[in-house]
Amino acid sequence: MVRTKWKAVAFDLERKVKDLKLKIEHLEKHIRKVYFENKLLRSECIQLRTALTNISLIEDKMYGPDWEEIEEARRIATDALKSSS
């Protein structure tokens, strides 16, 4: 009777260890995915900041009929760069 009880306890513990190992594997996969996504977002942020900087540095020259749109884009880019600093 006692031996059967210990076998049941051992079996239960073994099952719990297997479940924990599966959970750990799942979490490791999730962590790798989040790390990759974070790395990708950082890269995209750098590209966005570069683009905004380039737009904000457009010289004060008239560029034909699109000047108002260029001026507005430059203002938006400059404001975005100020707010993210």
Rg (C-alpha) for the chain, rounded Å, is 29
The amino acid present at 29, given as its one-letter code, is K
- Selected residue with higher pLDDT from 62 and 84: 84
pLDDT in tens, 11-54: 999 999 999 999 999 999 999 999 999 999 999 999 888 888 88
74, 58 contact by CB (below 8 A): yes
Label residue 63 by pLDDT band (50, 70, 90): low
**What confidence score (pLDDT) does residue 12 get?**
93
Indicate yes or no: pTM above 0.85: no
CA–CA separation, 61 and 38 (whole Å): 39
- Selected residue with higher pLDDT from 65 and 45: 45
Domain boundaries in the chain? 2-84
The amino acid present at 55, given as its one-letter code, is I
Helix, strand, or coil here: 63? coil
